[in-house]
Amino acid sequence: MNFVYITLINLILIFIFYVILNNKINKNSTSSLLERYAREVENLIIEMNRAVEGSLNLSEEKIGELKKLIKRAEKLLKNTEVRKFLSESKNKGQIAAGEKKEKVSGLAESKNLMEKTNHLLSMGHSKEEIAKILHINLAEVDFLESLISKG
């Protein structure tokens, strides 16, 4: 009788080990891994689609707003009073630009950046203003200033 119990217990244990090992083998099998990866990719695609859809909706709203603004601007440009005002404003802008050129008139006669920098420094311009006027960066202005002070 003990032999039957021991055999029965062994069979039960063998069955339990079989179930456990079978589950582990199936979890690590290629097909189950592929299924898991496929589900993960599908979830990522769904998330990306949602994000893109949100961006597209926002872009479409902005495009709609811009179209409304363009139509409004076109209506305003058809008005003769607005055209007259814009042409006067443009002329004022050209006059202001001419005044700026007169302010820096000494620069036209200068031959190189060092002379231009020295001239602007003597006029009291800041290094930032000089960089903007000469279209160079601040480090170049500092370098030219150091050369001027040594020379």
C-alpha 105/C-alpha 123 separation (Å) is 12
What was the pLDDT predicted at 96? 53
Write the single-letter amino acid at 43. N
C-alpha 30/C-alpha 66 separation (Å) is 53
Residue located via tokens 């039960």: 12
**Residue in 113, 124, 123, 122 with CA at minimum distance from that of residue 147:** 113
Banded pLDDT at 44 (limits 50, 70, 90): very high
- The share of the chain scoring above pLDDT 90, in percent, equals 18
Higher pLDDT: 75 or 26? It is 75
Q: In whole angstroms, how far apart are CA 109 and each of 127, 134, 148?
A: 21, 14, 18
